[in-house]
Each structure stands twice: as C-alpha cells, then as structure tokens.
Structure 1
C-alpha cells in the first residue's frame, strides 16, 4: 500500500481543525490571532514605508527635473576686454546650437541669473531672477503647468511689455496677485561716473506658478531673457546654459559630450551634483528603515513559534494517537508546518491588502490625520514638497511578501519538528 502524497487533503484537514481550537483551548486560538495580527501589521508597515519612501524620492526628483536644468554649462573665469574677471558667455546662441546637436539632448537654452530684492506695498523679499526666453520657459513642465498656475504666459517676452512670472511662495510672501506690479531692486545697477547705483524697475505679474517645491516657489522669479540682459548689465551675454536631456537619470554619461560641444573653457554641473548628497541620504535611510522593519516582521513571525509550541503541548495526546495509527514523522511535521505557515500566509495577504489600500488612498488618509491633529502635520518649508506622497512599486511589495513568507516558513519548522519527533509512548503514558 503506497503512502499518501505530501500535503495531502487529510493533512490540511487536521491542520485546519487544530487552528480552529475549541473554547476550552482558547489559549491556542488567542496565540494564533496574535500571530496573524502581528504579521499583518508588520507587512503593512513595511509596504507603507517602502511606498512612502519611493513616492518621496520620485516626487523630489520630479520637482527637480521639472523646474531645473539637467545639466548647467558655465564658462570658466576669464579676463574681459575691460580687464575685469568675467564668466559671461557671449556666443550663447552658437553654443546652444552645438549642444542641441548632441544625441540625447532635448533642449539647450541661454540663461541670465541674478539675486535681487522684490518689493510690494511695503513687503520685501530676496528672490532669484531667471532670465529666460518665452519658448524655453514654456518647455519646463513644472513651471508651465496650467493646472497648478494662475494667469497666462501670453504676455511674457512680448517687446515693451514688462511681464514676469513668480512662484506661489513669492506671491504669498508679498501679497501679490496676477495683475499687480512689483518692484525689483538690484544692487548691481547702472554704472555712473560716481559709481554703481542700484537699479529699480517695476514689472507686472502676469503668471504665478507652483513647481511643487517649496524652495523653488518661495524664491524664483522668471523674467524675459532680453529684459534680464538689460537689467543685470549683461547685454550680449548669458551667465549660463541650461540643458535638458532625454534620460536625466543617465546624465553622467552625457555631460562629457555636452561640454565637448560647448567648447573649451566650460564646466558642467548636473542635477545629481546639486542634489546627490540628499539622494544618497535617502538611499541610506531607505536601507536602514528596511532593516528595522524586517526585524519587526521577524518579531511578528516569532509569535508563530509561541503559538505552535502551545499547540504542540496541548495536542500531545492527539499526536500520540496519530502516530500509533500509522502517521509518519513527516506527516506530523507537515501538519504543524501547515498550521504555522497558513498563519503567515493569511497575515501576509492581509498586510499586502492594507499596504496597497494605504498607498492608493494616502491623500484622504493624510487629510484625516492632519484634520485630527489640528493641521500643521506636514511643513513644506522643512520637507521641501507640499504633501506626503506614496508610490506603490510591485518590486517593494514582492520584497515584503518574500521576507514575510520566508520568515514565517523558517520559524515554523522548529516547533513542527518537535511535534514530529514526539515519542507516542511518552505522549500517551498518563492518558
């Protein structure tokens, strides 16, 4: 007579009956529920943390790439015709044309940049002015977004029409709305026989944008390129060249050809150079959080051991009877392995379901938490972005599932082996 196949139907039936302990054996049932809830919450915490981590990094990188250059080209310092040290780029249009011809470059635009003071009705704030042409400004996805902006860029760059674009943070700090006129004050103004005098000019706010980054929205002002050249005494020159690439994550591979095309005596600065330390800190934090939460999953899985040990102790008589009627050690081991692993499987599925729901509905959940806490839970001036993001990556979900199931299966083996090696004679000695 052939022995039954492993994990046959009757083994599952015995394991299921043991998991549904009677009221008199409520301790086993309670430990099973504790193990189940512990695994569920641990997997949920791991998936939720990984989703928030992925969402935060994706949002941070997207706001960088959507409002800034992927590569910025500068000129090295040189001595101008007047004898002054300068870094101005005079052949900016020709340089931009050469850089655009590099494979992988989407756009190259000259830029005039400077620090000024913005003033409106007694309110003042330091801002950074980006002098950029209208077509180049419209090519920035995080700036020229009609869903998050106010006003229009139609008047931007029109000759004899001093219209500028400002961030929502600048508008909020100054109390400005579309159509108001603000004053920009630059200490490096007109040069006279008596020295340099501050330059004061008035500009109408035609467009208010939100780049999704607090530090951008609270400091940045866009001015037409030709107007910025005049305002910053840079007629016929640009301060830098902004380059947008097709694959920004691979920007390190293309920066060399870009600088070659730009010409000698140029240097480059990529978005990874500017934000690399922060991204590396995020990666380190991700690894540490994964290790910590993995320990949490292990602790939850250890509850399965406690529950199985109690189950083996309470079912000693049953084990002895099953062994005397012909069940092998392997069969007993599989029965109790099913008891423990089934708890891990159900808990893992529950944790995955909660984690997916959390990542999907994070906005209403966060709004509820913010409401209960009375507001101010998320400070964009500290965290840089305006909301808590979450991005569900199935690779992260699978990592959590494999970790949880692997630990659940491994810790189940030890009490299951103890049950399988129980001597039936000793189990029935006092029965």
Structure 2
C-alpha cells in the first residue's frame, strides 16, 4: 500500500484538532493566542508604518513638484569693479537673452515648458505686521500652470487678475492678517540707484490671490508677482534671474542636465533632487531602519510559536507514540506539528493584514483626533513641512510584511516539529 502524499487531509485534521486545546491543556491554548495576537500586532504595525512612510514621501515629493520647478537653469554670479573706488563686489548672474534660451530649452525632448523668472527677497508689511518674503516674478500664464498654486480648491481669489496685483501664500496672509483685496507693502533693499548710493524701493500691491501649496515653508514665505512688474521692482529691465524648467518625467530629470547646460552656455543646472536629495535619502534610510526594527518585533512574536509548540509536543507525547505505532512516519509527525505552527502564523498574518490596512486607511483621521486631543502639538507643520500625515498602501509593502511574517512563522516551527518527529514511541509510551 502506497504512503499518503505529504500534507494529506488527515495531517491538517490532526493539526487543527491539536490547536483547539481542551481545558486540561489551557496553557497551550494561551500560548497559541499570545502568538497569534503578537504576530497580528506586529504585521499591523509593519503595514501601517510602511504605508505612512510611503504616503509621507509621496506627499512630500508631490508638494515639491507641484509648487517648484523640476530643474532650474541660471548663470553664476559675476564680479564687478567700481571704477571710482576700485572696490570689487559680486552681483547675481542674469539672463538677458532669455526668450531665445526659453525657446531652445522648450525644444528639448521631454521638456513641457520653460518659465523665465525674476527672484528677490523683500520685507512684506501691513500696518504693524511684517514678514520676510521671497518674490517670484513670472507671467500669469506660467503661474496658472503651477498645479499646487493654481488649485481652485485650495486657492482664494481670481488668478485672471494676477497682472493687477500679487499672489501670496496662505501662511503669509495669516501672519500679515490680509486677504483678497487688501494691500501689502513690499520693501526691497536693492532699489533705485542715485548719486548717493542705492535707496530702498517701496511699493504697494493689492492681493488678488491667496494660494496653499501644501508646504508650510512655501505658504509662509512666497509671493508671486507679474514678470514685468518684478523686472522693474528689482532693477531687472529686459533680464531674468533664472529659467525654471518643467519636464514630463521628474524622476528622470537628471538626464536633461547636459542638454540644459548646452542651451545656456556657462549656465548652472539645479534640479529638485539637488534641493531635496539629502532629505529624501534620509527618508530612505529611515524606511530601512524602521523595517528592520519592526521585523525584530515580528520575530519576537513568532518566537512565541516555538514556546507554544514545545508545550504542545510535551503534552502530546502519548499521542505521538500512539500515532507512530499506528504507522505514521517521522515526516508525517513533523508535518502535523509544522502545520500547528503554520496555522498560527497564517491566521495571525491575515488578522494583521486586515488590521494594518484598516489603520492605514484611517491614519489621517486618527492623527487628526490625536492632534485635537493633544491641543495641536502632535503634528507641527513647521517641523514636518506638510500639513497632514498621509498613508499610501502599496502592494509591495503588504507583500513584504506578509512574506516576512510567514517566513519567520514557518522557520520557528521547524525545531519543535523535528523534536516531535524524532520522539521514540517506546519512550513516549513507557510511563503511560
């Protein structure tokens, strides 16, 4: 008579029966529940953490790409000597033939558009309130093409009136106490050139649009001004400070570095990866560290399976002896007790996946409740840059958590299962 195939139905039946311990074997039942709950909590924490980290990175990158250029081309500073005093001072590089540069850049494959921009720093003030601001001078059409700024759901005002005023971030509007229709005074230290030197330039502009880019630092410091007005205000008549480039594939923006430098001879290229690369690298390292730490927690929870199986083998010594005398092979006994541990790991993993997915889907609401309960200190956008804690469930993250949990659960069951399989049936029944 041929031996039954491995993992036959009777092996599953015996393993499932052993897991449902009777009252006299309550210790085994308790250890099984502890193992199951521990694995479920470990998998839940792993999935939720990976989802939050993925969501945070996606939100952070989206706020970068949604309100900033993918790549910036500019000329390096130059030195000028004052003929009267022989003093040498440095001036920022400017681009005078920017229409031709923009045309060459936009002709490059993969480039969506190139925006000439004038940049400068000013003091923005209203009555007794003031704040340092960074001004971006660009055309109304270019401003309307910036996704995070021109979003009608988060913005207030009319972008069509941009040529008649300025657009400011919601954070700056809150600090200055202004809204659409109010007037803001801008003061630039680099003003008009006179015989007595440079005098500050002061001008007032109505606020026609208030935007929220989703980034605390941008909303608190940025002002958009019409390009022609910015050229006049910052003494850049007929010139711009830089060309901001937007591409179809932001992740592959580095491939355009050389063509962009050729489009502006002597120019410097600064990509969004250069600006935020160190922070993104830190996030990647933190992801790896968190995965290792939580993997250790899952391993500790899985070790409870070993304790439970050792107790089960000890309590089932008589049964093992009887099964062996009935004809069960060592391999069959090993598989029975392996299935006992595997059942615990599989059920705990399934429960952990369900709990982890539910937690990840509701993490924004949960964090909002914690933030409200703690008085607003649990999530400070001034520190973290973004306004909320998002979560992004990815199949690869769930697969990593499931694979880790099942692998550890299966591995830790091998030792006690082998111990049960190698028990001598004569010794097991000697004192029965």
User: Once the 2 structures are TM-superposed, how far is the Cα of residue 337 of structure 1 from its aligned partner?
Assistant: 0.5
User: Once the 2 structures are TM-superposed, how far is the Cα of residue 373 of structure 1 from its aligned partner?
Assistant: 2.6
User: Once the 2 structures are TM-superposed, how far is the Cα of residue 260 of structure 1 from its aligned partner?
Assistant: 1.1
Partner of 2:54: 54
Unaligned runs of 5+ in 2: 84-88
Decide whether the 8 Å contact of 1:69 with 1:244 is kept in 2. yes
Match of 1:108 among 105, 114, 134: 114
User: Once the 2 structures are TM-superposed, how far is the Cα of residue 82 of structure 1 from its aligned partner?
Assistant: 8.9
Match of 2:162 among 152, 156, 167: 156
2:135 counterpart of 1:134: no
5 Å-filtered alignment, 1:1-400, equals 1-78=1-78, 85-157=91-163, 161=164, 163-262=165-264, 264-400=265-401
Q: Take 2:372 and 2:32, find their aligned partners in 1: how far apart are those partners?
A: 36
Partner of 1:401: 402
Quickly say closer, same or farther: Cα 1:338–1:371, change in 2 above 3 A. Answer: same
User: Once the 2 structures are TM-superposed, how far is the Cα of residue 81 of structure 1 from its aligned partner?
Assistant: 11
Unaligned runs of 5+ in 1: none
SS in structure 1 of the partner of residue 166 of structure 2: strand
Decide whether the 8 Å contact of 1:110 with 1:132 is kept in 2. yes
Decide whether the 8 Å contact of 1:102 with 1:261 is kept in 2. no
Range 25-34 or range 73-82, more displaced: 73-82
User: Once the 2 structures are TM-superposed, how far is the Cα of residue 93 of structure 1 from its aligned partner?
Assistant: 1.0
TM-score by length of 1: 0.97
User: Once the 2 structures are TM-superposed, how far is the Cα of residue 303 of structure 1 from its aligned partner?
Assistant: 0.6
Q: Take 2:334 and 2:206, find their aligned partners in 1: how far apart are those partners?
A: 80
SS in structure 2 of the partner of residue 156 of structure 1: helix
Deviations 1:104-128 (A, max 9, x none): 1001010000000000121000000
Deviations 1:79-107 (A, max 9, x none): 67998745110011110110000001001
Aligned residues: 426
TM-score by length of 2: 0.96
Deviations 1:247-271 (A, max 9, x none): 0111111111121122x11111111
Q: Take 2:99 and 2:220, find their aligned partners in 1: how far apart are those partners?
A: 30
Quickly say closer, same or farther: Cα 1:300–1:125, change in 2 above 3 A. Answer: same
User: Once the 2 structures are TM-superposed, how far is the Cα of residue 77 of structure 1 from its aligned partner?
Assistant: 3.3
SS in structure 1 of the partner of residue 18 of structure 2: helix
